Amino acid sequence: MPNQPSASRFMRWFDPRFRQPGTWAFILNRITALGLTLYLAMHLVMLGKLAQGPEAYDSFIALAKTPVIKFGELLVIAAGFIHGINGIRIALTSFGIGVRYQKQLFWIGLALSVVATAIFGYYMFFIA
């Protein structure tokens, strides 16, 4: 029976080998949205440190300057670029602009996101 659930069909859903670029765009859009939402919640909690006084905020600033946290911030920047540029692609194709070139637009957007993240990371780790 083709519509019956089975373990092999379930595991095939997680197999990345045969995915189309549109599927990857959808998956990346959802993952980055979840990541950005989680970051927003954490950001609001950390801003609450301001209300606890200067000592709590100073300890937060010391933590924020560690390499692990900076790398996490770089991931947030990458998620923002990927989500934003993919959102622009989705909006354009929703209005009928570039529908024939969705795959190319996805790859161009992903490349732009990687370049923008690399530039941001360079300034973040080596300049600032």
CATH number at residue 109: 1.20.1300.10
* Residue 2 in domain: no
Average pLDDT of every residue of the chain? 88
pTM: 0.81
Segment 29-45 mean pLDDT: 93
Domain range for 86: 24-127
Q: What is the phi-psi region of residue 4: left when phi exceeds 0, alpha when psi lies from -120 to 50, beta otherwise?
A: beta
State the total domains in the chain: 1
Residue with tokens 């095939």: 12
Segment 111-121 mean pLDDT: 97
Greater model confidence, 19 or 83:
83
Q: How far is CA 85 from the centre of its chain?
A: 11
Q: How confident is the model at residue 1 (pLDDT cuts 50, 70, 90)?
A: low
Q: Could you read off the pLDDT of 62-80 as tens digits, one per residue?
A: 888 899 999 999 999 999 9
* 117 neighbors 77 (Cβ within 8 angstroms): yes
Q: How confident is the model at residue 121 (pLDDT cuts 50, 70, 90)?
A: very high
* 86 neighbors 29 (Cβ within 8 angstroms): yes
* Residue 6 in domain: no
pLDDT score recorded for residue 85: 96
